[in-house]
Structure formats: structure tokens, C-alpha cells
């Protein structure tokens, strides 16, 4: 199976920035869509961003603040988060799929362990 490991989470003040990384195994990394989801206490896991061969896509709440990119040579996907808000506080997960749909958590068979992001006001 595909293996994914997130890193880069931590605590930051409102308005600050973080860059999350998702390191993946496998020689066919470039064939996967990589998505980012987040889950706050008491809330459903929600879509944040994904990168496909057509480019990056974002949920409305992240548009203009988050940037997703990938480095296929390093088997790594990045999520840069700028202008962070307290409502961005959550555990962030990366996930991988070879399917044609990638906006729902059920579209992804492979998941990382998650990394905590805490934004203080």
C-alpha cells in the first residue's frame, strides 16, 4: 500500500504561516492525486485542497490563503498556509487516490497519520 507521512504542523499566531509536507512512498507517486483534509473537534473531516495533473484546487474558505504544490522527484506534496485564522485549527491529513474523484474523504484509500495545526488569536 501507499504510505504517507505528514509533517510541519505546530502552533502559530493568527496571521502567521505554516508549510505542511506530505511525504509518500512508491515509484508511481506522480500518478496519484494528493488531497489535504482537516478535522476539528466535534466536526466532520472536510476537504481543504488537492493537486491533480490539472493543478491545485481549494475549498472556498482556503482560496487565496493556501497554496498546494508537489515535487515528484522528492515524492512530496506541500501545503503552504498563509494568513492563518483560529478557525483553521484542526488535525490536517494528507491522502492519496488514483481515482477520478477526489473531493470527498471516501474517495481516498490511503491516508497519513495527521499533524496538528493550532492557530491562536
pLDDT in 10s for each residue of the chain, 121 residues? 789 999 999 999 999 999 999 999 877 788 899 999 999 999 999 999 999 989 999 999 887 999 999 998 899 999 999 999 999 999 999 999 999 999 999 999 999 999 999 999 9
Residue 34: what pLDDT?
Answer: 96
Identify the pLDDT of residue 120. 98
Q: How far is residue 45 from each of residues 11, 16, 76, 85, measured CA to CA in Å?
A: 20, 23, 22, 18
DSSP bridge partners of 110? 96
So what's the pLDDT on residue 65?
96
Residues 6+ apart with CB under 8 A from 3: 24, 25, 26, 110
- pLDDT (0 to 100) of residue 61: 82
Amino acid at each position: 500500500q501507499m504510505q504517507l507521512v505528514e509533517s510541519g504542523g505546530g502552533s502559530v499566531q493568527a496571521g502567521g504561516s505554516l508549510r505542511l509536507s506530505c511525504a509518500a512512498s512508491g515509484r508511481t507517486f506522480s500518478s496519484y492525486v494528493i488531497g489535504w483534509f482537516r478535522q476539528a473537534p466535534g466536526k466532520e473531516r472536510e476537504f481543504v485542497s488537492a493537486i491533480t495533473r490539472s493543478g491545485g484546487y481549494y475549498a472556498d474558505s482556503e482560496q487565496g490563503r493556501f497554496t498546494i504544490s508537489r515535487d515528484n522527484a522528492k515524492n512530496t506534496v506541500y501545503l503552504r498556509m498563509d494568513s492563518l485564522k483560529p478557525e483553521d485549527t484542526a488535525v490536517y491529513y494528507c491522502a492519496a487516490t488514483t481515482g477520478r474523484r477526489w473531493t470527498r474523504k471516501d474517495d481516498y484509500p490511503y491516508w497519513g497519520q495527521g499533524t496538528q495545526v493550532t492557530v491562536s488569536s
